Amino acid sequence: MSISRIKSQIISQECIAEGIFSMWLCAPGIAQEARPGQFVSVYSKDRSRLLPRPISICETDRRRGWIRLVYRIAGLGTLEFSSYGPSDELEIMGPLGNGYDLDAASAAGRSDISAASCTAILAAGGIGIPPMLELAKELECKKIIVLGYRDELFLNKEFAKLGRVVISTEDGSAGTCGNVLDAIREQDISGDVIYSCGPTPMLRAVKKYAADCSIPAWISLEERMACGVGACLACVCRSTEKDSHSNVNNKRVCRDGPVFDAREVEI
């Protein structure tokens, strides 16, 4: 898979929830190559901010050569990105990292059934929700999509076109009051494999739940990154096996991940 560093024209940008923006960019090469779960590095035009911001790819439109980024304003870099509009350009690099296994039967370790016969649970929380949209589009199996919010909902109507959607909110304003695991238990949801993305406490709970239910879980880790290509070792996480690159129990989230078999990493 080739990685491109390009100047990409913004097609559109809109605020879809408080502090959360949806941006479509023209990036034909990246759109063709990207898999669900991968990300791009987005560079600031302010050269005092040297490091790019890693942002997950929410959707791809391969016919048009577009990619969609849905991100939360978390600092000066993302605040800058939110100020741009159509015809502005951003420098981006990608696609980076690895993605989810799109064969649900393979991801579940089930050689006895077809992918279409599998049930996949997609569990996502907060800004971990956007990268699951392309995954939901491309998985060819039954999907139960469990989305966790603090309060304000976003993207939920788009997910509803792709599978059964279950909502949880921390304040109880919609769906189950609590987190995604509370919703899974309340709705008595079961499946063959879990795909997950979100904050570390949520992923830790998903990993334990999957182990208790004896089903595989594939999790996408959030980590501060620098180079985005695995050279600087700034985004390592603890792994259960030694990394062939560093010969210690570490994995590089940007290069070996961000998607891991939950059994590979300690969180």
pLDDT, tens digit, 9 for 90 and up, residues 158-211:
999 999 999 999 999 999 999 999 999 999 999 999 999 999 999 999 999 999
242: how many CB neighbours lie within 10 A of its CB? 12
- Residue 240 has a pLDDT of 64
What architecture (CATH level 2) is domain 223-267? Ribbon (2.10)
Q: Give pLDDT, residue 239.
A: 66
Q: What is the CATH number of domain 104-220?
A: 3.40.50.80
Quote the tokens at residue 254. 């940007």
Where does the pLDDT of residue 252 fall: very low under 50, low under 70, confident under 90, or very high at 90 and above?
confident
Out of 122-131, 169-178, 219-228, least confident range:
219-228
**pLDDT at res. 118:** 95
For the stretch 61-116, pLDDT in tens is: 999 999 999 999 999 999 999 999 998 999 999 999 999 999 998 999 998 888 88
- Tell me which DSSP letter residue 52 carries: P
pLDDT, average across residues 10-37: 97
Mean pLDDT, residues 125-148: 97
Q: Please tell me the distance from the alpha carbon of residue 109 to that of residue 167, in angstroms, as a whole number.
A: 28
Mean pLDDT of 29-40: 96
Instruction: Show me where the domains of the chain are located.
Output: 4-96, 104-220, 223-267
pLDDT band at 231 (very low <50, low <70, confident <90, very high): low
212 Cβ contact list (under 8 Å, min separation 6): none
Contacts of 202 (CB under 8 A, 6+ apart): 123, 125, 128, 148, 179, 180, 181, 196
Cα end-to-end distance, the chain, whole Å: 28
Q: Is 75 exposed, middle or buried (CB count within 10 Å of its CB: 0-12, 13-18, 19+)?
A: exposed
Asked if residue 258 has a cis previous peptide bond (ω within 30° of 0), the answer is yes
Q: pLDDT at residue 225 above 90?
A: no
Question: Does position 229 have pLDDT exceeding 90, yes or no?
Answer: no
Give the pLDDT of residue 153: 97
Among residues of the chain, what percentage have pLDDT more than 90? 76
What pTM, to 2 d.p., does this model score? 0.92
Least confident of 13-17, 96-100, 103-107, 224-228: 224-228
**Strand 164-169 to 176-177 pairing:** parallel
Mean model confidence pLDDT for the chain = 91
Residue 75 confidence (pLDDT): 94
Q: How many CB atoms lie within 10 A of CB 86?
A: 10
More confident residue, 48 or 94: 94
Confidence of residue 51 (pLDDT cuts 50, 70, 90): confident
Residue 140 pLDDT > 80: yes
Question: Class of the 4-96 domain?
Answer: mainly beta
| Mean of pLDDT values over 230-242 | 66
Structure letter (DSSP) for residue 9? E
